[in-house]
Structure 1
Amino acid sequence: MFNRLLMLALLAMTALFAFKAVGADNLSIPNLQSAVVIDGSLDDAVWQQSGEVSLDYVTRPFENATPPVNTRVKFFENGTELIVAFISSDPDPDAIRAFLRDRDRSFGEDLVGVKLDPYNDGRLAYQFFVNPLGVQTDAIENEMTGNESASWNGIWESAGQLTDAGFVVEMRIPLRLMNFLEVDGEKTWGVEFVRFYPRKDNYRISHVRFDRDNACTLCQMGAVSGFKDAKQGEKITIVPTAVAGVSRSRDPLENGDWEYDNNQEVGLDVNWGITPELTFSGTLNPDFSQVEADEAQLNINNNFNLFFSEQRPFFVENADYFSSIQNLVYTRNINAPDYGAKLTGRVQKHSVGVFVANDASTSFIIPGNRGSSVATLEEKSVNFAGRYRFDYSDDLSLGLVSTVRNSDSYQNIVSGIDSRYRISEQDTLRVQLVHSSTDYPEELFKQFCDNDCQLASELSEPALRTQAQDTLNGLSYRIFYERVNEDYFVRARRVVDQADFRADLGFNNNVDRQRYIFGGGYRWYNEESWWNRVQIDGDWDITHNDNGELIEKELEGQIRVNADLQSYFELGWVNRTRVGLRQDPSNLAIDGNTTQFEETAVNAFIEMQPNSLIEFYSFWRMGDRVDLSNNRLGEEVFSESGFDLNLGTNTSVSLDYTYSELDSANQSLFVANLIDTRITYQFDPRQFLRLIVAFSDIKRNASNYIVEVDEKSRNLGFQLLYSYKVNPLTKFFLGYSQSAYDNDALNRLATDNQSLFMKFSYAWLP
């Protein structure tokens, strides 16, 4: 009898605690119509009637530990807006890390914010974060891809104030920014209120508990009920744009005369919420030039194309609707369109993304298994991408994807299906199958002949892969399995890209490759010492071409440590068998046509943010490396290092330095240096002045090359940019840029391009 009573008591206590835990994660949001001024002061009387919750759990680096600071969150909605306030206490207000920076550049500082999943299904969440000075950071988190895209920008309002006890932040988020079901009655959204508290560790503090054994993070968000009268209102934004610029360019190796060019353009962007779930975006005569220079990259002893992130607003907006397992939509391939149109949205379990844009010319990657190249056709093209996803349940998603590129003499059509199945809280299976059909111009291969295309010895891999008279049809597929829990993870992947597969609107460097990958790791956690997580992991992979010939085999392992001072350490080792260049470039065979090399190397990485003044990192790799210019094994020293320095509230200095040295045949082959420096003065959250200087210097030992090369190659890029942003769409840019280069024929840095540009856009929200 006693045992039965004890069992009933235990069950009752368990149910009670379960009820309390669920209750803590499920909030009710009041609807209040009182006016509020967003100024970071909380003087408005409406805050006395708002909902309130405290942030009681450190979810990273610890698991649901008690926070070292107190944080209260107040919130309400008025039918068209969500208004949130954070009261963040701090025992040492002087230690608060807060700086005036441009949008989306405040990570690593004190931050507070809210994550919202309007469909409450763990697929996608909007993020809105603010630092103590009111600087905004927003992003979209996609559970399917595992990515957080900070390139998404919304128009919302925020303010922050430092106080004697910490800081206060207010946020006003228009509901029109997000897609949601506009139905009658109460709605339940996924929500998480978050504070980042960077001190000895960067504490992530939340109002909900998280389970490390559950690999899905968005699935564990809390819930908020309310929004009974929530409306998105008139969801239309009209953005006229004006661009003016003058530039001049020359070839210092020729006569050195300048050629001048003027550019004055007027364009128009439109964003229209056709329904609460579907959004149309259109652009006419856009200026898609890069306002801010890309991060500099060193490209030496590398046969494949480099990847650069998309920054142009039309393509960035709602880009997650086009994401799948492969990168099939890489819009940097579209250079200079006259128009673009996009439809994105979600209706119940159906998500869709469609866009079309033309281009003044047509460029695409010619992929291979020993390198890739870029082909350019002086033909206008039409570019299309479509993506559909059906969320059958919380665990199963099915998708379709298609892209088309078409010009007068060229066409590439890609069609694919994919699925994500969450087998359990720890196990996930992702599958994608894609088919492509490609027609190349008959003379395209001549772009890649060394000299005489009639001689087989002059043909290169890209020439052979474009010398097709018939339509190329190829398949690509991915099978990814992953099991992740608190202590360990395992991964198994199969990656296949047949020789005739092309994804010309995507970023696809490799074809004629079939790869197996197996890996895993184990983690240890600690809350009582200088370290908080140690992980040992590794993987083994092997790659063949379509004929079963070995291209690469690799075994690698790492030990990773997260520790105090917001530090991260990594030590790794790799042993790789790989083939070099083809001895007969007119033959795509691997066996009997290449030499196998064995590379063994070690690498180390450290990253640390010991205080609010500086954050630095350094990566080193030393060991064997194939000399791709001479097809032999060499000895490499490679490093990437950098720091971000905060000089007061307004000024920041960023420097990234890359060093690459390769010795081959017992003597030096090359030494390469790259420096990318950015100095920014932020006047206030809206405006900054930024200087960017990028300099590369490559010195080669010409006598150690089998082909003729320049002994020196230097490039200098310079940009001065003033930016004023009222919001992400209403902004003004004024900038000057200049570039110069040097080689053996010049013996000096000679300027080859100069430009002065201005861009203005205004967001009209009728």
Structure 2
Amino acid sequence: MQDVVIPKISGSPVIDGNLDDAAWKSAAVFKDFYQTQPGDNIAPSKPTEVYMAYDEHYLYVAFKCWDERDKIRATVAKRDNVFGEDNVRIWLDTYNDQRRAYLLGFNPFGIQQDGILTEGSMGVDFSVDIVMESKGAIHDWGWAVEAKIPFKSLRYASAKKRIWGFNVARNIDRFNDEIDQWLPNDRNVSGTLIKHGRISGLDDIKYERTLEVVPSVTLRQTSERVADRFLPPGRIVNKPIEPDIGVNLKFTLTPNITFDAAINPDYAEIEADAPVVSANRRFPIFFEEKRPFFLEGKEIFDSSLSPFYSRTIVDPDFAAKLTGKTGKITFGLLAASDNAPGNYSEDERTANRECLIGQQSDPTVRCPIDEFLDKNALFGVLRLKRDFGESNYIGFFGTARTFPKSRNFVGGFDGKYRLDDATIFSYQVLGSHSRKNFYSPERDRVEYRTGNGLAYSINLDNTKDTTGWTLGLEGKSPDYRSDAGFANRTDTNSFFFANRLSTKSRSDARLIRLDWRQSVSYEYDWSGRIQGANGETSVSAQLQGNFSLNAEARFGYEHLYEEEFGPKRNASGTIRGAFFGAPERHALQPSLAFGLSKTINSRLAVEASIEFSWNTFDYDFGAGNRYGRVSPAYLSWVQGGMSGPYPALDPGRAFEREIEFGVEYKPTNALRFSLDYSNTRLHRNDTDRLAFESNLFTLHSTYQFTRFTFLRTRVDYDSLDKNTKGQVLFGWTPNPGTAFYVGYNDDFNYNGYNRFTDLPQPGFERNGRTVFIRMSYLFRKSF
């Protein structure tokens, strides 16, 4: 397909959503769109035209969307929350390498949603915010948006003759989430960017080095419940106001190379993680990154085995990174100094001082935290990728984390190859070298030693319109460690195969599309012992009226070994195993699940799911103060007057039910509510006891006074702890970097348990509260 030449203009259009500027008359025009969802390259329901022009400093885009005025779906939403209503969007592949593109979207009021699409990833990363100007307006004939995008907000190839990958689309929400695109979408070709067109003519962009400096000031007053020897329930201590000053800076060395640094960055909790069920959980939970410094260039450091997980850097004093692309080489370097590992509490510091005094009279006394006190963990990350062919690459990943008595280094290679239009092969192989503490189940002790490990991931994926399949292998050896990354389980291998059969999409039929999926998996440790297996099938249906249904049946198998939970018993009996009774447990585990989602109208949307699982293991951890252990071993020990040693774990089969429900309600264009609820109930089979029941509620409300000013409330409730966390936040965010927040966070229990005595605490008990003011301002200078 021939490139579309974008004309250069001399006069900047006024960004007001009216499309009445002379500049648009000489702009390039994109029209005659194709409906690509739910229809398959058919005529769109409504016409759309897009106009594009540029000057030395800005790219100008305008969208003209014909529609009935009273049927347009749009609200005064917060940034990055507009793709659930009518919107338009463009993709800018600024390196024309079909690997990465900016996705910039706007609703009918011009509210922005921006992100990075990395080919082969699970979705778009909307954590990225770029500085741009946009405005929308609703007219009698429909709606329009105008946008002014600074080239200095983008990273692009510095060649004189610039060709960018490009596509543009419109989303009409009420027509079954219809997507209309400038170019047709061949569903038998895997990927997104490979199917886009190209724009050219952007040869007179003025090269500018840009320095962005964002100083921030936070004033915080915290009240916290602390232990008190005279008041066992503890007491509330009001701490003095704490000022916290930090600075973030970004320097664009070239249009495609950027240096970022942060000195004492303030990461006040503006938005907390969603609550999750922590009971009966064996492995750590992955939480998404939300901190601005680590979000810039995040896609460069992503890979299948997650050798770098930025949330392992908890509280950095300083962090810096250099990211970019030159020619066919993409690179990223990151360094950080994290004070969190050596930042002990005041009580721990007092105990350490007392220990040091005792050490003077008895040199054999060890003060366990002294060598770690106020020490920082140091991080280093190196990422390289070399493109070749149409959409292939080979890459290197290296990470390092050092702390007293803990050193970890990870390095290895990865790559992706397109075998044909529909088939992609990808892999990653990593090795780790560690000098740190390792737990030995055979000796039941922690040993300070050297450990070397291996991790691998291999995937072959074929995606077409009506068929698709995936074959995967992944594993991590027993001594594999990734202290700067995320590895939720080691000493495991897994094999996975999935298949999909689909009907052709019919946008006018009652049943628009039906997908039938089947999969099998098998897990085993590095000794060859089975850990688990699964076979499942699922059906999902897309119906008229933004309505979808799904059902799933699974038949699984799980095998437990006591050395995965603690010590492994020996023949002499000197080491008691982690399990009471048999050292292994296994179970066949069938399950059924059902779900639905429905956008009822422009104001209301709901989703719900329920799952039933039989013979799920209760690992016998208990679930906090409210739910103790209910295994036969533990109950027998309690009934026997708690005499004898504390009983080992006694995992057993249980019935589990999980319910999830969510609703979003927009009573006005400026106000929206959302409620998320989940219920998890685990009932032990052998003792006929309730292991736990967890209820999680999250209630959000947001009122947008203007596009940039809002008032937000949030309440999280966890029934396991009888704990409630609440936040009220006023914010003004005119652009990425400039912000003003006033917030109040509260944390309390009602008829819960005291955190120091573990005893029931009737009535209201506050754990802590914080009032904060946070101010930041973006200074931007180009030269």
Asked if Structure 1 and Structure 2 have the same fold, meaning a TM-score greater than 0.5 normalized by the shorter chain, the answer is yes
Q: Read off the aligned partner of 2:201 and give its amino acid letter.
A: G
Distance 1:55 1:359, change over 3 A: farther
Structure 2 residue corresponding to 1:733, chosen from 729, 736, 741: 741
Is the contact between residue 40 and residue 505 of structure 2 (CA under 8 Å) also seen in structure 1? no
CA deviation after TM superposition for structure 1 residue 308, in Å: 1.5
1:660 maps to 2:680: yes
Q: Output the CA distance in 2 between the equivalents of 1:89 and 1:192.
A: 19
Q: How much does 1:569 deviate?
A: 1.3
One-letter code of the match for 1:317? E
- Counterpart of 1:219 in 2: which secondary structure? helix
Aligned-residue offset at 1:254: 3.6
1:233-272 aligned within 5 A? 233-251=208-226, 253-258=232-237, 260-272=239-251
Q: Normalising by structure 2, what TM-score?
A: 0.86
1:224 to 185, 196, 199: 199
- Which whole-Å CA distance do the structure 2 matches of 1:312 and 1:50 have between them? 38
Cα displacement (A) at 1:590: 11
Note the alpha carbon deviations across 1:387-414, whole angstroms, 9 max, x for none. Answer: 1100022232000001111112211111
Matches within 5 A, 1:307-326: 307-326=286-305
User: 1:336 is matched by which residue type in structure 2?
Assistant: D
Aligned residue runs from structure 1 range 32-431, under 5 A: 32-90=9-67, 92-184=68-160, 186-251=161-226, 253-258=232-237, 260-362=239-341, 379-431=375-427
The structural deviation recorded for 1:35 is 2.1
Matched residue SS, 1:469: strand
Listed one character per residue, the Cα deviations across residues 307-364 of structure 1 (whole Å, up to 9, x for unaligned) are 221111000111011111222221111111111101110111100011111111239x
Deviation at 1:257, TM superposition (A): 4.1
Q: Is the 8 A contact 1:182 1:231 kept in 2?
A: no
Distance 1:275 1:763 in 2: 20
- Pick one of 464, 468, 473 that aligns with 2:452: 473
Mapped partners of 1:265, 1:292: distance in 2: 18
Matched, 1:587 2:588: no
**Does the alignment pair 1:633 with 2:653?**
yes
> In the alignment, residue 216 of structure 2 is paired with which amino acid?
T
Note the alpha carbon deviations across 1:477-506, whole angstroms, 9 max, x for none.
011011111211111111110000011111
User: What residue is the counterpart of 2:428 in the other structure?
Assistant: 432
Offset of residue 82 of structure 1: 0.7
- Per-residue CA deviations over 1:259-292 (Å, capped at 9, x if unaligned) read 5253212211111111121000011111123211
For the 8 Å contact 2:248–2:261, the answer to whether it is kept is yes
**What CA distance in whole angstroms lies between the structure 2 residues aligned with 1:270 and 1:585?**
46
CA RMSD of aligned residues (A): 2.1
Distance apart, 1:748 and its partner CA: 3.2
Q: Where does structure 1 differ by over 6 angstroms across 4 or more consecutive aligned residues? A: 588-592
| Change beyond 3 A, Cα 1:333–1:55 | farther
Percent identity over paired residues: 25
Between 72-81 and 375-384, report the one with greater CA deviation: 375-384
Task: Please give the residue correspondences for 1:473-622 in structure 2 after superposition, counting only pairs within 5 Å.
Answer: 473-527=452-506, 528-580=508-560, 582=562, 585-587=566-568, 593-622=583-612
CA 1:675–1:146 in structure 2 vs 1: closer, same or farther (change >3 Å)? closer
Q: Is residue 771 of structure 2 the alignment partner of residue 751 of structure 1? A: no
Q: CA deviation at 1:572?
A: 0.1
1:100 maps to amino acid:
V
What is the alpha-carbon distance in structure 2 between the residues aligned to residue 76 and residue 693 of structure 1?
A: 46
Question: Which residue, 753, 757, 761 being the options, matches 2:776?
Answer: 761
Structure 2: which amino acid aligns with 1:157? E
CA contact (8 A) 1:189 1:223 kept: yes
Question: Residue type of the partner of 2:529?
Answer: E
Structure 1 residues 552 and 38, CA gap change in structure 2 (3 angstroms): same
Query: Matches of 2:690 and 2:323 in 1, distance apart?
Result: 54
Q: Is the 8 A contact 2:91 2:166 kept in 1?
A: yes
Q: TM-score, normalised by structure 1?
A: 0.88
**Structure 1: gaps of 5 or more residues:** 1-21, 364-374, 446-458, 699-712
Question: How far apart are residue 667 of structure 1 and its match?
Answer: 3.5
Deviations 1:10-40 (A, max 9, x none): xxxxxxxxxxxx35xx311101121221111
Give CA-to-partner distance per residue, 1:191-238, whole Å, 9 cap, x none. 111111111311111110110000121100111111011234232211
Deviates further, 255-264 or 667-676: 255-264
For 2:613 and 2:256, locate their aligned partners in 1 and report how far apart those are by CA, in whole Å.
Answer: 54
Q: How does 1:457-472 map to 2 (within 5 A)?
A: 467-472=446-451
1:536–1:560 CA contact under 8 A, matched in 2: yes
Residues 167 and 197, structure 2, Cα contact 8 Å, conserved in 1: yes
CA contact (8 A) 1:55 1:193 kept: no
| AA of the residue aligned to 1:764 | F
For 1:97 and 1:650, the matched residues in 2 are separated by: 13
Which amino acid is 1:493 matched to? G
- C-alpha deviation, 1:133, in angstroms: 0.9
Equivalent residues, number: 700
Q: Conserved in 2, the CA contact under 8 Å of 1:334 and 1:362? A: no
Against the structure 1 CA distance between its residues 727 and 232, is the aligned structure 2 distance closer, same or farther, given a 3 Å change threshold?
A: farther
Q: Report Cα offsets for 1:569-592 as digits up to 9, x if no partner.
A: 110011111024628831199997
2:236–2:768 Cα contact (<8 Å) kept: no
Which structure 2 residue ranges, 5 or more long, are not aligned?
343-368, 570-576, 621-630, 632-650, 754-758
SS in 2 for 1:179: coil
The alpha-carbon distance between structure 1 residues 564 and 349, as it changes in their structure 2 partners (threshold 3 A), is same
* Deviates most, 109-118 or 43-52: 43-52
Q: Secondary structure at the match of 1:152?
A: coil
